[in-house]
Amino acid sequence: MPVDVKPVIYQLVVRYFGNINPTNRRDGTREVNGCGRFADINPAALRAIRELGATHVWLTGVLRQATLTNHSALGIPPDHPDVVKGLAGSFYAVKDCFDVCPDYAENPADRLAEFDALLGRVHDAGLKALIDFIPNHVARGYRSVVRPDLDFGAGDDTTKFFHPQNHFFYVVDPPGQPLRLEKPEAWCPPGVTFDGGYPAEDGSPGRPAKATGNNVATASPGVFDWYETVKLNYGWDFVAKAGHYAPRPRTWDVMDAVLAHWQALGVDGFRCDFAHYVPPEAWAFLVDRARERDPAAYFMAEAYPWAGSGDPITDRRQLTDAGFDAVYDDDSYNRLKEVYQGSGGQDDYARSAAAASAAARRRVVRYLENHDERRVASPVTRDEGPAECGFGSPAAGYQLAPLQLLSHPGPVLVLNGQESGEPGAGHEGYGGEDGRTTLFDYWCMPEHAKWVTGHRYDGGQLSADVLALRRFYAALLELCQDPAVRADGYWGLKYWNRPDRFADCPDALYTFARFADGGGRLLLVVTNFNVEAATEGRVRVPDELAAVAGLRPEVTVRLRLDEGGTRDVAVVQVSRDALATEGFAVRVPGQRSYVYEIS
């Protein structure tokens, strides 16, 4: 059965969403490069996001992170430079789980009130508000100014690596080891010195080194480790691979208080960072408690579970069983990357897209971009893994976005700037030249800023090509709410529409169908995997699919979406029998996807 709404989650990174300062100097300070503000996310911006097709806004990076920016007037001095990544600091090295970043406030002393006002604007626009919940780790210098009574580490037995009631893991074998850090070679901001030490973890009594957020239990983490973070303890000993949950670990209750704090302000849900590192028993407790306060509280997990990992969660179902609404689907995304790299094929992607049951497909989040991944427009690379490959140009979205966003009834995720073809270019500082928009530095998205245009959000400076891309994304996200897309019916057709079965169906064409059982119609997505040239051929619908979809003996094929956006053009009238045997003709330009309705 169709769901009422397919969640379309717009990831809005507050630090750079409203920043229109074009300087973009490497390692630029907030004063030099500028910074987005809560106030920038005004009614015009939110109206435009709603018109784009979003149902939820994920306000990314709002929690107060460790930073080298000085907020001493607020009682928040800059952090020790050895344990901060970037001048601005990583969104995911949180210094206070109960606070928001003062960079984003017009009056930093009133930052929580300004954030509360932003939540009001989000709701007034008819959108739901999500924020980050980062349960696995905090900044090394964690210190709450909002709830100091709930500071992590207070009352810990610092002589033990693991104790179920400790908040942290302590590197104490042998005792007395100071934290020693390597200076990242590529990050050399002017005026910032590194000595490789951190006084709060100098190995003296009560100040041992702590394990990092990525499970490195050493006093000398490497430059590619999450050395700026420390891992939180939920009663799961990640070395012994064993859980100890009775009595309830203290960390569970502190994190429940964190969720309650933001729910009381009006936050509707949470994107949960690296959720597979937290035991499912803790998640069941936290989600249940949140839903006691708000039955509609939305939980989306960033998680990469795999069998044999030794992590507390090794299967996506453990998260959905614990109450999560949705979990990232990195597999289908990576299979597309491999197609572009030449290390995988369409059949690999087809198997990934169809792998889950109908119920499971409702709980996967599919995407082409998020803040961890390379921008669509960043270059294709062939000598590294999928994580370090882009898709080569903004135009790849015309081909790939319909594949990812229409293939399931579950949520979809769009990163701010994706709809403007943001390239992720430039060496920002700690973020480097990596095809992403930085998590660590003050920066402006140059293509996105042309849409912002003085915070009018009218696209007045965008090129014709980018305006066309935005129109396409709006049409595609509107199509996400089609009853056939919101229903469970999925039928991969690469096995059927292929040249070894039908000589007039070139291999470059990739097809699948979405439908409601017995609904009398279906949507057929036809993709051309030839990047360089148009592909012509005939595509067919097997009679078994036509029967399940409830197609009548005579049907009309209409073009619903092409690179120009929404279409409603009759292509052909055909019998259901002929649809299976002869099909209908298509001509799809290079690196494009078309969507047809058959009803």
- Total of domains in the chain: 2
Using the predicted structure, report yes or no on whether residue 8 has a pLDDT greater than 90: yes
Are residue 520 and residue 473 in the same domain, yes or no? no
The arithmetic mean of pLDDT across residues 383-407, rounded, is 96
Measured CA to CA, the distance from residue 329 to residue 343 in angstroms comes to 20
- 511 assigned to some structural domain: yes
Q: Is 163 part of a structural domain of the chain?
A: no
In-domain check, residue 242? no
Q: Which residues contact 492 (CB under 8 A, 6 or more apart)?
A: 350, 353, 354, 512
Instruction: Report the Cα 393 to chain-centroid distance in Å.
Output: 20
Domain that holds residue 571: 488-598
Question: Which of 479, 500, 521 is the endpoint of a domain?
Answer: 479
For 388, phi then psi, to 5°, come to -105, 30
β 94-100/63-65 pair status: antiparallel
Same domain, 300 and 438: yes
473 & 519 share domain: no
Mean pLDDT of 525-544: 97
Residue 572 exposed, middle or buried by CB count within 10 Å (0-12, 13-18, 19+): middle
The CATH number that applies at residue 54 is 3.20.20.80
Domain limit, last residue, from 479, 511, 535? 479
State the pLDDT at residue 186: 85
Tell whether 165 is covered by a domain. no
Percentage of the chain modeled with pLDDT above 70? 99
- Residue 366 CA to residue 403 CA, distance in Å, equals 10
* Residue 525 sits in the same domain as residue 574: yes
> For residue 331, is it within any domain?
yes
Q: Percent of the chain having pLDDT more than 90?
A: 96
Residue 547, in any domain of the structure: yes
Within this chain, do residues 454 and 525 fall inside the same structural domain, yes or no? no
Q: Are residues 306 and 404 in the same domain?
A: yes
Spatial contact of 122 and 129, defined as CB atoms under 8 Å apart: yes
Residues 448 and 524 in one domain: no
Q: Is residue 61 part of a domain?
A: yes
Domain co-membership, 472 together with 581: no
- At residue 183 the predicted structure's pLDDT band, cuts being 50, 70 and 90, is confident
- DSSP calls for 59-79: EET-EEEP-SS-BGGGTBPPP
For position 354, what pLDDT does the model report? 87
Residue 160 resides in a domain:
no
Q: Is pLDDT above 50 for 1? A: no
R_g over Cα of the chain: 25
Are residues 422 and 470 located together in one domain of the fold?
A: yes
Domain boundary among 479, 511, 532: 479
In a 3-state reduction of DSSP, which class is residue 5?
coil
pLDDT value for 3: 59
| pLDDT higher than threshold 70 for residue 398 | yes
Local confidence band at 383 (pLDDT 50, 70, 90 cut-offs): confident
Are 330 and 404 in a shared domain? yes
> Mean pLDDT across the stretch 253-265?
98
Are 462 and 556 in the same domain? Answer: no
The mean pLDDT value for 322-327 works out to: 98
Q: Residue 594's domain is classified under what CATH number?
A: 2.60.40.1180
Residues 428 and 373 grouped into a single domain: yes
User: Which is nearest to 60 in space by CA: 125, 112, 9?
Assistant: 9
CB 410 within 8 A of CB 301: no
Q: Chain-wide mean pLDDT for the chain? A: 97
